[in-house]
Structure 1
Amino acid sequence: MTGEIVEGAIIMLVIVFAIFHMVRKSSRNIFEETTSQQAEPVKNDDRMDNE
């Protein structure tokens, strides 16, 4: 009985860790996409000023 509980707890921890890792990775990708989109208009504005 206790072996099954320990095994279940380990499996639950692995699943929670995997979900946390996936969410963290996707939020990092979203952050990089939004910062790159914000940086591009600034570059375009600089080009217009130079012309």
Structure 2
Amino acid sequence: MSTIITKNTTVICRGSKNPSYGHPKVYINTQKDGRCPYCSQEYKYNPKQNKSHE
């Protein structure tokens, strides 16, 4: 799984775009650990990033 770079300090991870296949919604602080406890997706904060992901 690749790291998602975002300009947001908090992101939501659901594990999948389809809720039937994901995990419970969690809010992740990208300035601290930045890793989802369910699926291990990693998010990194970059305030200069042009496009953000959730």
Give the TM-score normalised by structure 2: 0.13
If asked which structure has higher relative contact order (CA below 8 Å, sep 6+), I would say 2
Higher helix share: 1
Higher strand share: 2
Bigger Cα Rg: 1
